[in-house]
Structure 1
Amino acid sequence: MASFSRTDMAAKAAADIPEGWVVNLGIGMPTLIADQVPLTREVIFQSENGVLGMGPAPEKGQENPWLINAGKQMVTLRPGGSICHHADSFAMIRGGHIDLCVLGGFEVAENGDLANWATSENDTAPAVGGAMDLGAGAKRLWVVMDHTTKDGRPKIVERCGYPLTSLGSVSRVYTSLAVLDVVQGLGFVVRDIVPGMSLEELQSKSGAKLHTRS
């Protein structure tokens, strides 16, 4: 079955970010988005550990072990980038100064709820990190994730079954099979489908009703 690769998903999300936005990238797949934005575009990537103006992953041999993102991956600084205190970084997040946050996800519900940090009440995940702050504080929240689990269960659902990260905050989802808008009062609206897949096939792999734009 054809699917969008992780690079494809990151590129699609990167292309949709408007010029001048301040964007936080969550751990995992979202960090690939920074690699898809050329220096000719003005997108200011923020990392909650205190990086503003984060660039793509460094070239081999050019790594700086002291310059990392929130996932402990080595990154670069774009021209004009800066380092700030952790508290200042969270002041940006909690103060509503982040235009967009892109997170990974375990499940997204049709009302925009996100579950992305634990898969049960007894999960051994070390902590939720800054995801709850970002879900509540960022002006917009997008999610990048596979469309289904490894055993084929839908991650696009009517209601999340996992512990929630944020309530009603997701406005767009980029999956391995589609790009979906989350429209309040309606649910998932299809923007794009992987080539060769019909809407009916996509619906069969989703746990919530999908709508098309009229």
Structure 2
Amino acid sequence: MDNRRFIARRAAQYFNEGDTVNLGIGIPSACSDYVDPTIAFQTENGMIGVGPVAKKLAICDTYQNAGGINFVPVMGASAFDTAYSFAVIRSGRMAATVLGALQVAENGDIANWASPGRAFGMGGAMDLCNGARKVIVAMELTTKKGEPKILKRCTYPLTAQGCVNHIVTEQCVIDVTPEGLKLVEIRAGKTPEDIQAQVEPTLIIADDLKIMDEE
């Protein structure tokens, strides 16, 4: 299994039966391949009941998620306008959101929409970070250049402050706690020292540190 799908599968383990969940683009979108069928997926542009990616004759331009990907609605899906969609998000009814990130700070701040010379648009992430009951970041631990993405303080424009609960990467799982960042799971073959060398803040090592499931 490649690293991106490994991350997505682990992030999906935070969902509970009957949850309504929003998935960001990129790695988070693959979470839907690893969930109980009772999980309902929401898209900011107006639907609860987002199903699998549409292929061939199933493609219908009426059904596109917020990332522009065509999908097949599941039985019982509900469609509505964008205003109603964001009312659902802001009401606290979303059990979780899974988002990618450019940077995460030790206090749970997240930056995921702009970096020097590049701005992608914040989209609905600001509302999701403040409206969802659980915010899960699914990302690779470092940049392609090997630079830390988990920092003492974000240097890119923030999406939201103090909202992240869990950080899932291809090497470890880190929880954001009032005491600091806690390393709770680690991939086989890695050591806490390996992870610490790739992040800025000093990590708290969980007493019951677990090995990430490979299957």
TM-score by length of 2: 0.90
SS of the equivalent of 2:68 reads coil
Q: What residue in structure 2 maps to residue 99 of structure 1? A: 95
Count the aligned residue pairs.
207
How far apart, in 2, do the equivalents of 1:86 and 1:34 lie? 22
Deviations 1:44-71, CA, capped at 9 Å, x for gaps: 1111010101122234543223211110
Q: What residue in structure 1 maps to residue 153 of structure 2? A: 159
| Structure 1 ranges of 4+ moved more than 4 A | none
Report percent identity of matched pairs. 41
Structure 2 unaligned regions, length at least 5: 208-215
* Alignment of structure 1 residues 174-185 onto 2, 5 Å: 174-184=168-178
How far apart, in 1, do the equivalents of 2:143 and 2:165 lie? 21
Query: Which of 61, 85, 90 is the matching residue for 1:89?
Result: 85
* Alignment of structure 1 residues 113-128 onto 2, 5 Å: 113-120=109-116, 123-128=117-122
How far apart, in 2, do the equivalents of 1:35 and 1:21 lie? 15
CA 4–111 in structure 1, closer or farther in 2 if over 3 Å, else same: farther
Structure 2 residue 72 is the aligned partner of structure 1 residue 76: yes
Deviations 1:11-64, CA, capped at 9 Å, x for gaps: 11112211111111112211111122253xx11111101010112223454322
Structure 1 unaligned regions, length at least 5: none
How far apart, in 1, do the equivalents of 2:2 and 2:104 lie? 18
Query: Which of 106, 109, 117 is the matching residue for 1:110?
Result: 106
Q: What residue in structure 1 maps to residue 136 of structure 2? A: 142
CA 192–61 in structure 1, closer or farther in 2 if over 3 Å, else same: farther
How far apart, in 2, do the equivalents of 1:70 and 1:145 lie? 19
- Residues 4, 175 of structure 1: 8 Å contact kept: no
How far apart, in 2, do the equivalents of 1:45 and 1:94 lie? 16
Higher strand residue share: 2
Q: What residue in structure 2 maps to residue 205 of structure 1? A: 198
Query: Which of 188, 194, 200 is the matching residue for 2:187?
Result: 194
CA 62–38 in structure 1, closer or farther in 2 if over 3 Å, else same: farther
SS of the equivalent of 1:93 reads helix
One-letter code of the match for 1:81? A
- Residues 17, 36 of structure 2: 8 Å contact kept: no
TM-score by length of 1: 0.91
Q: What residue in structure 1 maps to residue 213 of structure 2? A: none
CA 35–183 in structure 1, closer or farther in 2 if over 3 Å, else same: same
Superposed displacement of residue 126, structure 1? 4.6
- Residues 4, 177 of structure 1: 8 Å contact kept: no
